[in-house]
Amino acid sequence: MSDPVRDEISLPIERNAEVASVNREETAPLLQVRGLKKHFPVAKGWFSRKNEYVRAVDGLDFDVMPGETLGIVGESGCGKSTAGQMIVQLLEPTEGNIVFDGTDLASLSGEQVRRARRDLQLVFQDPYSSLNPRMTVYDLVAEPLIVHGLASGKALKTEVMSLLEAVGLGPQHADRYPHEFSGGQRQRIGIARALALKPKMIVCDEPVSALDVSIQAQVLNLLKDLQEQFDLTYIFIAHGLPSVKHISDRIAVMYLGKIVEIGTREELFASPKHPYTEALLDAVPVPDPRLRRKREPLPGELPSPVNPPSGCAFHPRCPYAQDICRQQTPVLEPKADGQSAACHFPRNMDEAGVTI
Amino acid sequence: MSLLEVNELKTYFKTAEGTVPSVNGVSFSVEAGETLAIVGESGCGKSVTSLSIMQLVSDPGEIVGGEVRFEGKDLLKLPKKEMRKYRGNEISMIFQEPMSSLNPVFTIGNQVGEVLRRHKGLSRGEAKQQAIEMLKRVGIPRAEQIANNFPHQLSGGMRQRVMIAIALACRPKLLIADEPTTALDVTIQAQILDLIGKLSEEENTGVILITHDLGVVAEMADRVVVMYAGEVVEEAPVYELFERPGHPYTIGLMGSLPKMNEQRDRLDSIPGAVPNLLDMPPGCPFHPRCPFAIEACTQTKPALEEQQPGHYVRCLRAGEVG
């Protein structure tokens, strides 16, 4: 398989830079996820058969357009990281399809999956445990290029140096080891590794959660710059709403393995339709004491994904729940332009179903 | 007389590579019923400050100078045995990691009751009864049952509630909360902050809230101390600080926050990283990252000076910036 763009060594590669303004109807999605599920078996006792399942991800449907950033938010245990790992083929889905760039990833053989991974990279949360402490920065960034046989000798060196430069590190850093770097710099190394294969899509799993505030801003700015420079598509998984809002074009909110709401950043933040989204937005502390207010914190906790509540999984915590919510699982359906929610009684809408 | 007065506190760590001045001459005070937030990034000395107040700094760390006056009495001069009467009784602490601060082999009820047996001399039965009362107050459902559970059977939010129950069991006058919600999800964080606010108001408890989250500061604090590289760089009442931040570091921190109510293309990040405490730059420790630095900042170490009543800034150009 020879791909002229891939074989070009020097950075930056210039692809079509006009993707930011894609027309949805005309452009095919880069990623299509349909009915994606992951159920982990729970062993009961020592010898009994496994007959219970943690429904970590329980039916996801969404598209990601080329050049776009889709944010996935939700609290711990909602399944957002499991979803991300299935997309980059680190976990095998229990059910459902992941179609990337027109190919169903489940249909690929081992070697083909390895090739597909070139286009589909992951940036991990913890820059302390995701870098091999015995490898120098140069070796860490060169590794993916060597493994995929994309460069060697002088070309390899040039490539690694330009990658380091792209993430804001210099040649003076190349011979050092990860422990000599701060968290922010390590995350830059992790990003350089992900960039090395010139992927089309990068799944960022909580890339800034472990970093200090001032450093988070540096990494968020870097991710935005790289997206423009290398024409990248991102899935940005995080629990911190302000950073997700900052970087995403569209946002999916997950609760107990399902998407409860998905929409454009503007719509979702200005007019949340699902009560959980509303509660989540309300719970974020606002860095302005003038906006301090008496809040009604959402009661209770995330239910067990082994025995999710009947009907709408959110009903035990929902202030607006009625009988139908306990019996019937709401489906994710459009509630406004560019915004879908799975709720029988969506918020911020008048009786005619129009957004207020 | 303030409830707590910390004067020129110095806590150093003597390592093989040299002495690390983690807390380098920190002063502040807390009044009864007041919430003082200490903000700063990792390594700024905020947690070591709180551990020093409790005298829980372990080797190779050592408090090498200063005073910690609690109701006028310098705790650093007390013998160890005397100090134990304060710790967990008059002054108590909530830690960031509720899992590692609870003992996995004792029941919840036992651990909440322990402080009551120890400080109030209650019997086992009385302590358990009061422990259950305390668990109810911090919003734990089915408290009688949960009292017999072990820490691993509870969620993170529930464990943090248990920690708060332990910390408040003896009705302390001062509560130190070190990143109490950092490990929790936002909806649970909202519950816990609400609880700390409510309980401290009911009992007129002084609170030192240590956090890196300016959102939490804005919601909870009356006054704020900003720390950088082991020193206080700014202190101000909370409204004043957010309206008129005076130190370039505080200004930078606020600019680097993505905000929920506005959309910017780029965040104003602070360049570089926190300096190595073993190898501090001369002059102002912030000057290598400071957009306002002038020649003098590389040589002269600024003093913490009052700019407005109650608003202190450690910057040569305070008044010009901000």
8 Å CB contact of B185 and A297: no
Mean pLDDT for B165-177 is 93
CB atoms within 10 A of CB A255: 26
Please tell me the predicted confidence (pLDDT) of residue A26.
66
Sort strands A258-264 and B18-30 into parallel, antiparallel or unpaired: unpaired
- What's A351's DSSP letter? T
Mutating which of A169, A186, A214 best tests the B interface, going by the most B Cβ atoms within 10 A? A214
Nearest Cα neighbor of A67 from A188, A207, A226 is A226
The span from the CA of A83 to the CA of A56, in Å, is 9
Sorting pLDDT into bands at 50, 70 and 90, what band is A350? Answer: confident
> What's the half-sphere exposure (Cβ side, CA atoms, 13 Å) at A169?
28
Sorting pLDDT into bands at 50, 70 and 90, what band is B187? Answer: confident
- A9 pLDDT above the threshold of 60: no
B44-79 pLDDT, tens per residue?
Answer: 999 999 999 999 998 899 999 999 999 999 999 999
3-state helix, strand, coil in chain A (%, to 5): 35, 20, 45
A174-218 pLDDT, tens per residue?
Answer: 999 999 888 889 999 999 999 999 999 999 999 988 888 888 899
Q: What ipTM was assigned to the predicted interfaces of this complex?
A: 0.82
The span from the CA of B217 to the CA of B203, in Å, is 21
Query: Measured between CA atoms, how close is A333 to chain B, in angstroms?
Result: 25
Mutating which of A81, A213, A251 best tests the B interface, going by the most B Cβ atoms within 10 A? A213
Task: Give chain A's contact residues with B (Cβ, < 8 Å).
Answer: 75-76, 182-185, 212-218, 220-221, 224, 239, 241-243, 245-246, 265, 269, 279-292, 295, 297-299, 301-302
CB atoms within 10 A of CB A350: 8
> b or e along A88-123 (b: 16 or more beta carbons within 10 Å of the residue's beta carbon)?
bbebebbebebbbbeeebeeeeeeeeeebbbbbbbb
B92-144 pLDDT, tens per residue?
Answer: 999 887 778 899 999 999 999 999 999 999 999 999 999 999 999 888 888 99
Sorting pLDDT into bands at 50, 70 and 90, what band is A52? Answer: confident
- A125 pLDDT above the threshold of 90: no
A76: nearest CB among B42, B185, B263: B185
> What's the half-sphere exposure (Cβ side, CA atoms, 13 Å) at A101?
11
Are the C-beta atoms of residues A356 and A350 closer than 8 Å to each other? yes
Give pTM, 2 decimals. 0.86
8 Å CB contact of B258 and A245: yes
- B270 pLDDT above the threshold of 50: yes
Are the C-beta atoms of residues A310 and A327 closer than 8 Å to each other? yes
Residue A302 tokens read as 């995330």
